[in-house]
Chains A and B, each alone.
Chain A
């Protein structure tokens, strides 16, 4: 047997590279707990605002209603004057039309009740 040239397979000089056995997990954002906490915080603030808004809406409604209540006497007085004027005109007209009918009482209600009731008819154009 001649001396056979052979090389023993050996690690490279300096040794092998370190085996990459560690998991490669880059940072992928905040944790679930943080997100959950953040969402809860945002929702809590939102519901707080909704509650405040509901209280405020009620007050705004009261303000609007009272602004109208304050105007009721004024508008009613104006409307009453106009209604009275129309009533009197209608009464005069009825008197003129029915002047030949004996025993006709112009403007007499068909009900035997002194309580005021507004007109039962409307003007047809």
Chain B
């Protein structure tokens, strides 16, 4: 063991733990989606996987030990994989347009309302999922449906 402290962030190679998961834990493939598609799909994940997500978070509230909620966690991941696969099949191009827009616009929703509306329409028609933002003041249009917002991209 070295006695001098080396900042892991400045290490020449990343620290890797090569040991796989113990074999008694069922395997689940990771989602592997990057941040932009995740952000684009976030509200649909919240809608589609609501029960699994809430179950998992309640389990985490019981105990923070990573070993405690592995089963619930697998369900959450499987549900998200299921949803992303469905989105790719049903709304592939629209989904791609939206997350590419997010990627190019600093991940700001308000810069990408046009592709977002197309995606929301497609998701509602094909999968029956809606984007709802909890806590929107009663009687107000949700921010993603405002016709003439103050904040827009310079080039619409």
Binding site for B on A (CB under 8 A): 49, 52-53, 56-57, 59-60, 62-64, 66-74, 76-81, 83-89, 92, 116, 118, 122-125
B72 touches A77 (CB 8 A): yes
Question: For window 58-81 of chain B, which residues contact chain A by CB distance below 8 Å?
Answer: 60, 63-70, 72-74, 76-77, 80
Using Cβ atoms and an 8 Å threshold, which residues of chain A touch B77? Answer: 74, 77-78
A74/B6 contact (C-beta < 8 A), A68-B42, A81-B21 known: no
Query: Closest Cβ of chain A: how far from B123's Cβ, in Å?
Result: 14
Using Cβ atoms and an 8 Å threshold, which residues of chain A touch B38? Answer: 71, 74
A-B contact count (CB 8 A): 130
Any A CB within 8 A of the CB of B20: yes
* A84 and B143 alpha carbons, distance in the complex (Å): 39
* A59 and B146 alpha carbons, distance in the complex (Å): 11
B22 touches A88 (CB 8 A): yes
B45, B63, B74, B150: the one within 8 Å of A70 (CB): B45
Any A CB within 8 A of the CB of B95: no
B43 touches A64 (CB 8 A): no
Using Cβ atoms and an 8 Å threshold, which residues of chain B touch A92? Answer: 19
* A4 and B67 alpha carbons, distance in the complex (Å): 139
Any A CB within 8 A of the CB of B139: no
